[in-house]
Structure 1
Amino acid sequence: MARGPSEMGATSDFTRPALVLIDLQQGFFEAPELAAVRERMLSHCNQLAAAARASGVLVLNVRTVHQEDKSTWTLKMLEDDQGYLFEGTPQAANLQRLDLSLSIEVIKQRDSAFWNTGLRALLSQHRATSIALAGVSLDTCIAATAADAFAANLPVALGIDATACAEPDMEQSTLKFMVEQHRQKLMDTRQLCQMFSSAH
């Protein structure tokens, strides 16, 4: 069956993007694999946020926050009887020196930034029809958010040098799935900044 004009190239339409920063919090970077790339992540994410702001592109900062009373805990947390990222603790705070000027915060309790949050409504409110993703971790929260974006027909560009994987063995298989199954784009910081500058 031939595709209509509105379907062709749909996954490449980044004319109205939003930048979504995922879990750039102190607690996640206590893991050795992520602590080792903390400075790189800060540099690239700050560059992306600055470029987005300069072009009038929406910047959303997504943080994971849980309650100590277990009311927000995942099945794995409940099974292990071990919570983390409690509201008001240093672990739940944003990374120091992360420039979030003019950004909007979204709080989540699950891997996907779309699950039971106001993210979809914020994107609609600001007329964003695609997202650029940066942050951690590629194999969990980034992948889950990207999958839900695909389900919502939102094209995704992944900031390949502005993300990191807590499980290095999962990195290539995760990227392969995103590209092949969800037609999502891998871009570096320079390419994303150029994309923001041409947004309208």
Structure 2
Amino acid sequence: MTSRPADALLLIDLQEAFFAGPALAEARTAVVTAVDSLAAAARGADVPIFLISTEHSRDRSTWTLSMLEDDEGFLFHGDPATDVIAELDTTGMTRLEKTRDSAWFGTDLLLRMHNLAVSRVVIAGVSTHACIAQTARDAYANNIRATIVEDAVADERPEHTRAVRDLLIGDRQADLADSAEVLERWAR
């Protein structure tokens, strides 16, 4: 008898700042609805949930190259824009802060996944072309499978979403599922 792989749910950048633009503002309700159903199912199946947000220091020490070149930082620790979106139920979620697109870079996420014997991360949040894609790629680089939940992700640049997803699938770095498929898997 084989047991199912141990999953963890990664919720990426569900912060007020990211939903300020028109494309993500329009997708907000659908993403939150899907994420809430995933989180409730994860809680019921004892799947760990990681709420991963982006925050930077005002002293420029965590800024990306483009922020340094433009001499313009954002997502500063303590600013209201870095708050998790208000309608998200964060009960039982473990918080992690990142400073780059990947949730793996400069965090202890890999250690946590190893400690929990996680072999697959289920990824939801924003933005597909950047933080979602890079987190999936780096999961693959760390020999952890990644599933992107299509109806629980959104992008401020939707014209890039299909190309990025096709590359991730073509390179076998991630697979896709909708929230109903994930809920069914966790109900077993």
TM-score interval for Structure 1 and Structure 2 normalised by the shorter chain? over 0.9
User: How do 1:61-100 residues align onto structure 2 when only pairs under 5 Å count?
Assistant: 61-100=51-90
Aligned pairs for 1:157-168 (under 5 A) are 157-168=147-158
CA distance in 2, matches of 1:155, 1:72: 28
2:37 is matched by which residue type in structure 1?
Q
Letter in 1 for 2:19: F
**Displacement of 1:182:** 2.3
Unmatched tracts of structure 2, length 5 or more:
none
User: Does the Cα contact within 8 Å between 1:14 and 1:129 map onto a contact in 2?
Assistant: no
Aligned residues: 186
Q: For the residues of structure 1 that align with 2:40 and 2:163, how far apart are their CA atoms? A: 31
Query: RMSD of the alignment, in Å?
Result: 1.2
Quote the Cα distance in structure 2 between the aligned partners of 1:29 and 1:152: 30
TM-score, normalised to structure 2, is 0.96
Question: Which residue pairs with 2:146 in the alignment?
Answer: 156
Q: 2:170 aligns with which of 165, 180, 186?
A: 180
Identity in percent: 35
Tell me which residue corresponds to 2:6: 16
Q: What CA deviation, in whole Å up to 9, does each residue of 1:152-172 have, x standing for no partner?
A: 111111100000111111011
2:97 maps to amino acid? I
Q: Does 1:34 align with 2:60?
A: no
* Runs of 4+ deviating beyond 2 Å: none
Q: Secondary structure at the match of 1:67?
A: coil
Report if aligned partners of 2:137, 2:173 keep a CA contact under 8 Å in 1: no
Q: Which amino acid aligns with 2:24?
A: L
Equivalent residues of 1:14, 1:155 under 8 A apart: no
Aligned to 1:69, what secondary structure does the other structure show?
Answer: coil
Shift of 1:14: 5.7
TM-score by length of 1: 0.90
